[in-house]
Amino acid sequence: MLQVTNAVVRYGSITALHGISFNVEAGEIVTLLGANGAGKTTTLRMLSGLHAPTEGSIVFEGNDVTLTKAHQFTGLGISHVPEGRRIFPQMTVEENLEMGAFGRRGPIAEDMEKMYETFPILKDRRKQMGGNLSGGEQQMLAIARALMGRPRLLLLDEPSMGLAPMIAETIFRIIGEIRDSGTTVFLVEQNAAQALRLADRGYVMENGRIVFGDTAANLLIDERVRAVYLGEEV
Amino acid sequence: MINYFTSHFDTLRLEFWPLLVGGLASGFIYAMVAIGYTLVYGVLRLINFAHSEIFMSGGFASYFVIRAVIGTSQPSGLESILLIGLGVVSGGAAGALVAVLVERVAYRPLRRRKAPALAYLISAIGASYFLFNLAGKEFGRYLYAYPTIFVNHPVFTIFGAGVQMYYVVVAIAGVIMLITLDRVVAKSKLGRSVRAVAQDAETASLMGVNIDRTIVVTFLIGGALGGAAAFLYGITSGVIYTMGFTPALKAFTAAVLGGIGNIRGAVLGGLLLGVVESLSVAFVQGSYIDVAAFTVLVLVLLFRPTGILGERLGRSA
């Protein structure tokens, strides 16, 4: 579904990604692990056109999207839930959801009903300003907003960040349901244990490079992963 | 001292309604121009100091169109209404065109290079000087008066004060344009994209909003309102290459007064500024009305630094 080949991203004179390659197949949850500053968020930003790679290529469903602009990605079927949720604070929940469908044609009312079924709390809050929601509600809104674009690939950046464990649990359960309903998920997550339990495969990033990748089951028992990302004594 | 106040409050009491009507008329014009500042500030966080010349362009365009159409005839009735519509549309079209050109030539290249805010300011001042000097060179450095578009007789009276046709025209045109804009921004997809870019441009682009196009749209809307306002302003004040300076400065003041970035704030600020200016004539000489206007600005900002309604970027209500 998605193939990234030798992608290099630079910020000015700093190289953030040193030629990374990976792939995501339809129906998978693939997770990207790594310490802060390893380049996980940059990778996601590259995948939605916010930072075009200076070398290498990105191919999505057979189309070269390497130089596609950010605002064209939702139309292609890739939606991005950004780090920190980035809800429009002075728009209502309903308007935020409408924004999610901005890049595509077709009706939105039934999609919105579906979101309210998945996230009942958003229905209760639908006339409230996005900025007045709690962190967990905002995360649900951010995910629902991205799903309004009917993506085939959903990019999630740290969806459990700053959330109480119980809320994070709910978010992970919903991510599983999203995959089960047919949307492929590419997940960046600090909580490596939970991410690996949910994912089919994973990649590990260090200093702007992908150092290895494997099935999630293998990564969970990999000594390097356990030592560095699962915080266990080996 | 007491005498001073009683006599001036007497003037205010006697002249209150005519002064209020005149103040509201200039208030509508300030409001329409203020929206251009506030919209552009909302999406780009910069003050478009070339807006005064966008206003001036609308004034000249509508003047030339109206003069060509009227010739030596004496319009009346339906003709007058059509001419007013023509003036608003031609002024608005020219304002929109010049605004979009200013964005393309003076701002977009800087945005591409991620220039610091100061560079935009210099670029804006440059565009402003270029445009008004160009107008001065092409059209001459003197005042053009519009031919008579309608007979400026009193239409009705409130509390004994005759309300002249000019005020009615400005109020109707102003109300129609401001309400349309408010609805468009609150309800339409276009309006939502402008608000989304104002609140969080990067996330808006992730939703599929083309930021460049949205920026052009805000310049276009602001330019159209400013150009149309210049026609309404020019009917009584005439058209000259420097005509943008004072009304645009007042409109900028109005935008800050209401809360920059806030559309309803711009309207409120414009109306308030127009009325305060007008009523101040009861207390001070006419030549001091600008002092009164800016005194109000300073006082409001002392107590509410973000303006009356606050800096609510991209808010619909």
Top residue of A102, A143, A155 to mutate, by most chain B CBs within 10 Å, is A102
The CATH number of the domain holding residue A121 is: 3.40.50.300
Length in residues, chain B: 317
A88–B200 CB contact, under 8 Å:
yes
Q: How high is the pLDDT of residue B1?
A: 63
- Domain-embedded: residue A17: no
Residues of B in contact with A99 (CB under 8 A): 192, 196, 204, 207, 209
Chain B residues within 8 A (CB-CB) of chain A?
Answer: 189, 192-193, 195-196, 199-200, 202-211, 312-316
> Is residue A234 predicted with pLDDT exceeding 80?
no
Query: How large is the average pLDDT for residues A181-203?
Result: 94
Cα of A65 to nearest chain B Cα, Å: 15
* b/e code A81-120 from CB counts within 10 Å (16+ = b): bbbebbbbbbbbbbbbbbbbbbbbeeebeebbeebbebbe
Nearest chain A residue (CA) to B312: A90
| A179 and chain B in contact, CB less than 8 A | no
Task: Specify if A103 maps to a domain.
Answer: yes
Of B196, B207, B314, the CB nearest to A74: B207
Interface test with B, best of A50, A88, A95, A105 (most B CBs within 10 A): A88
What was the pLDDT predicted at A152? 97
Nearest to A102 among B199, B209, B312 (CB): B209
- Whether residue A37 is contained in a domain is answered as yes
Is residue A109 in a domain? Answer: yes
What average pLDDT does range B81-108 have in this prediction? 97
Percent residues over pLDDT 90 in chain B: 73
Centre a 10 Å sphere on the Cβ of residue B284 and count the other Cβ atoms it contains.
Answer: 12
**Which residue among B199, B205, B314 places its CB closest to the CB of A71?**
B205
- Is some CB atom of chain B closer than 8 A to the CB atom of A209? no
Say if the Cβ atoms of A80 and B206 lie within 8 Å.
yes
pLDDT score for B293: 82
With 60 as the cut, is the pLDDT of residue A122 above it?
yes
What pLDDT, on a 0 to 100 scale, did the predictor assign at position B6? 76
Q: What is the pLDDT of residue A228?
A: 82
Query: Which residues of A fall within a CB distance of 8 Å from B202?
Result: 50, 70, 82, 86
Does B208 sit within 8 Å of A149, measured CB to CB?
yes
Residue B314 has pLDDT above 60, yes or no: no
Mean pLDDT of B222-235: 98
**What is the model's pLDDT at position B312?**
65
Ranking A100-109, B225-234, B282-291 by mean pLDDT, the lowest is: B282-291
Helix (H/G/I), strand (E/B), else coil: A211 = strand
**Complex ipTM > 0.90:** yes
pLDDT given at position A233: 54
Size of interface A-B (CB pairs under 8 A): 76
Confidence (pTM): 0.91
Domain containing A178 equals 22-51+68-228
What would the pLDDT profile of A172-185 be if each residue is shown by its tens digit? 999 999 999 999 99
Q: Give the per-residue pLDDT at B296.
A: 84
* Average pLDDT rounded to a whole number, residues A66-86: 95
- Between A106 and B68, residue with greater pLDDT: B68
Q: Are B105 and B80 in contact (CB under 8 A)?
A: no
The pLDDT assigned to A27 comes to 95
What are the boundaries of each domain within chain B?
A: 19-244
Per CB-CB distance under 8 Å, the chain A contacts of B204 are 88, 99
- Pairing mode, if any, of strands A29-34 and A201-206? parallel
Instruction: Give pLDDT tens digits for A212-231.
Output: 999 999 999 998 888 888 77
Q: A99: nearest CA in chain B?
A: B207
A residues 56-85 closer than 8 Å to B (CB) = 69-75, 79-80, 82
Residue A88 covered by a domain? yes
Q: What is the pLDDT of residues A123-175, one digit of tens each?
A: 999 999 999 999 999 999 999 999 999 999 999 999 999 999 999 999 999 99
Q: Mean pLDDT, chain A, as a whole number?
A: 94
Is B313's pLDDT higher than 80? no
Q: Maximum CA pair distance of chain A?
A: 54
The values of phi and psi at residue A205, to 5°, are -110, 140
A7 bridge partner residues: A20
Residue with tokens 């056109």: A49
Nearest CA in chain A to B199: A88
B314 to A90: CB separation less than 8 angstroms, yes or no: yes
Asked if residue A100 belongs to a domain, the reply is yes
Domain count, chain A: 1
Residue A153, min C-alpha distance to chain B (Å): 14
Q: Is residue A38 part of a domain?
A: yes
Structure confidence at residue B317 (pLDDT): 41
- In terms of Cα–Cα distance, which of B246, B235, B227, B237 is closest to B289? B246
Nearest Cα residue in chain B from A97: B207
Least confident piece of the model among A105-109, A214-218, B293-297: B293-297
What is the pLDDT averaged over residues B138-151?
94
Whole-angstrom CA distances from B129 to A55, B206, B245 are: 43, 38, 11
- Chain A residues with CB-CB distance to B196 below 8 A: 88, 91, 99, 102
- Structure token pair of residue B226: 């400013």
DSSP string over A26-67:
TT-EEEEEE-TTSSHHHHHHHHTTSS--SEEEEEETTEE-TT
Mean pLDDT of B202-206: 97
Q: Is residue A234 part of a domain?
A: no
